[in-house]
Amino acid sequence: MQVFRTIWALPLFVIAGLGGQAAAQQSVGVVKELPQVVVSASRVPVPTDEVGSAITVIDEEDLERRQIRVVSDVLRDVPGVAVSRSGPAGSITQIRLRGAESNQTLVLVDGIEVNNPASFSEFDFGNLLNAEISRIEVLRGPQSALFGSDALGGVVNIITKRSDYGDGAGVFAQVQGGSMRSLDQLYRIGYGGDYFYVTGTYNRFQTDGVSVANIDNGNPERDGFRNEMARLQVGVMPFEFLEIDLVGIFSDSYLDLDFGFPLPADSFDRSEVQQRFGRAQVKATLLDGHMENIASASFGDSESNFKDPTGAQSFFSDGEKTKFNFQTNIFVSTPQFVDAEHSLSLMVEHENERQFTIAPAFGAPGKIDEITNIGYAAEYRLALMESLFLSFGARFDDNDALFRDAFTSRITAAYLIDGTDTRIHASYGKGVKNPTLFELFGSTLNFTGNPNLTAERSKGLDFGVEQSLLDGKIIADVTWFSNRISGLVTGSGMSVANLPGTTRIDGIEATVSAEPLAGLALELGYTFTNGTDPMGARLIRRPRHIASANASYSRDVIGRPVNLNANVRYNGHQRDSFGAVTADLDDYILLGIAATVELYDGFEVFSRGENLLNDQHPDVFGFGTAGISGFAGMRYNIGR
């Protein structure tokens, strides 16, 4: 605890002594204006060319051109990502980064960790719609050195749109509807003054859907889905060096379910999920921008209520996560000494996870389980002669008495070869994933937790080459990756256990982006993943081959902007299991097209078609998918 107090005391002492000094506004502005900057790689803004880790950025223009409504759909275009949806839109949706398990990916929304402690520490992407998302960063490979336990496989960082200082007033409204009696409404209002901003967002989506259980197995019943989300963001800047940001998110969803054995079948079960998230952050920028001190507190609460066909409660879970974080960033230049830029980040985090579960239908009594963790992390970044960029990170986790304390680390390198437009990037990291509360203590009719589980540990390595051609009109990147996971937690009869031995995952990620003509943008992606457990068996829900192609064409027609977009996604053969049944799932192709026309300033109409080949092969064995679908709508945007 002495270390804990010392790390906190040093920055607070600096604030007390230098609080009257205002940071240079120009320095802060430069960071905000950089178009190619990522935050998740080092937990501070870093230009993408200087990042050694493999990372993909999806911005709001990408989301709008492709008319993405369900975030997991656009993640299918990201190299190294496998998506598994157990039914139509709204159903439980998992993602796996580079073959790691779905609960080994940390998901952040506006800086809030949203993984559910009461649901195997996973985040269900089925409830995440594109409600005014500004950008998505997908960081692949072990990231425990900066983010702790949940980031063994990587990080998905989601940042939403908001008003900003000096933006003025803004109003946005969007309505769309289409197949399966779907209706989607999205509204935002905001204002940004010189010293404050406020943004409110509301989204409601509803659809009659299709059967959650595969219709080919004789399940014609439609299963509906409804989701409502409200978000409020507020910021104030009482002094030029001090910023205070607050965000609150509430969502409520309803989903019809299908249960059964040995395969899911039509039923009248349903689930109701309520989620509440909040975060407060204070940031002080001192010494003319050479030092930042950031203190934050966040809270997440996810309640899942499952009901049987009679309306009686069959299972209820409530997962809570509370986190306090303090981070100091220091930036120093030494132009007289090897022309170097240095930056250092020091972090301390206190995290508490709590779950309450009750299964009255199974005779399982209600119980509360809890875990507390304190983590200390640091990263040093070095930029030499504007061509070589290195980072060294490490973390020590003072774990709950249930687990051993953990030490993780990560190193990255990026090198720009002058004259050839070549960038070489590489990273190596150690990851850790503590057993989840449900794996340890969960209890249902056919599951009992295992309190003797130990942490999963990994070592991940990647190496890639990025080549730019024709003055940046073509950019290609090929990355090889290898990951070794020991003690992988897996189902064992009616419980879970650590697999003895090492799980091996190797693969290749390749991307090409090109602008061959004015207004025409092409993006290609391919991932090969070979994952096997210690016995040599293929890992389930990890297709060996995943590919995507996206084409976007923009031009003015009769003086008004028009955009056309086409997208093809290929998901290869994969193994899956449901209960005691194991099966091979066929590959499939998804084809979508979209068009947007701006009729006058701020007013657009749009339409899109999904799954135009009507390929209804499922992601998960026994579950259904939607066929060919069409949607249309309009949006109105004034200001920011």
Query: What per-residue confidence (pLDDT) applies to 15?
Result: 32
CATH number at residue 264: 2.40.170.20
What's the CA gap between 95 and 619, in Å, rounded? 11
Q: Are strands 105-109 and 154-160 parallel, antiparallel or unpaired?
A: parallel
| Sole residue written with tokens 């679908």 | 629
Tell me how many domains the chain contains: 1
Positions in the chain whose pLDDT score sits under 50: 1-35
What's the CA gap between 287 and 331, in Å, rounded? 10
**pTM, whole model, 2 decimals?**
0.92
Q: Quick one: which of 32, 20, 26, 58 has its CA closest to 192? A: 32
Domain holding 492, by residue range, is 2-638
Query: What per-residue confidence (pLDDT) applies to 337?
Result: 79
3-state SS assignment for residue 411:
strand
pLDDT digits (tens, 9 = 90+) for 510-556: 999 999 999 999 999 999 999 999 999 999 999 999 999 999 999 99
Q: Are strands 545-557 and 520-532 parallel, antiparallel or unpaired?
A: antiparallel
What's the CA gap between 602 and 65, in Å, rounded? 15
Cβ distance 486 to 457 under 8 Å? Answer: yes
| Sole residue written with tokens 């030499």 | 384
Query: What per-residue confidence (pLDDT) applies to 364?
Result: 62
3-state SS assignment for residue 451:
coil
**Dihedral angle over CA of 207, 211, 212, 218, nearest 10:** 180
Helix, strand, coil abundance in the chain, percent, nearest 5: 10, 60, 30
Query: What per-residue confidence (pLDDT) applies to 581?
Result: 79
